[in-house]
Amino acid sequence: MSLAAWLRDGLARFSAAVPPFILGETPALILDVDITGVDAQRDRVTGIALLPVSGTRFRLADLDYLQLPPADGAPADPADFGRQFDRLLAATGDVPIIVFNVNFVRHMLDRTLGALGLPRLGGRWLDVRAMLEGVYGKEMGQVESLASWQQRLGVPVLAEHSAVADVFATAQLFAILVGRCEELDLRTMDDVMDAEKSRRWLRGD
Task: Report yes or no on whether pTM surpasses 0.75.
Answer: yes
| pLDDT on residue 149 | 93
Compute how many other C-beta atoms are within 10 angstroms of the C-beta atom of residue 80: 10
- Sign of the torsion angle spanned by Cα atoms 161, 162, 166, 167: positive
Query: Domains of the chain: which residue ranges?
Result: 20-203
| CA max distance for the chain | 57
Segment 75-104, tens digit of pLDDT:
878 888 889 999 888 888 878 899 999 999
Q: Which residues pair with 125 in a beta bridge?
A: 97
Compute how many other C-beta atoms are within 10 angstroms of the C-beta atom of residue 160: 12
Phi then psi for 122, rounded to 5 degrees? -90, -150
**Residues 203/140, Cβ–Cβ less than 8 Å:** no
- Sign of the torsion angle spanned by Cα atoms 148, 152, 155, 158: positive
R_g of the chain, CA atoms, integer Å: 18
Give the residue among 29, 26, 30 at the shortest CA–CA distance from 55. 26
Segment 3-61, tens digit of pLDDT:
444 434 443 443 344 456 677 777 889 999 999 988 888 899 999 999 999 878 899 89
| pLDDT on residue 2 | 47
Kindly report the CATH number that applies to the domain delimited by 20-203. 3.30.420.10
Number of continuous H segments (helices) and E segments (strands) in the chain: 7, 5
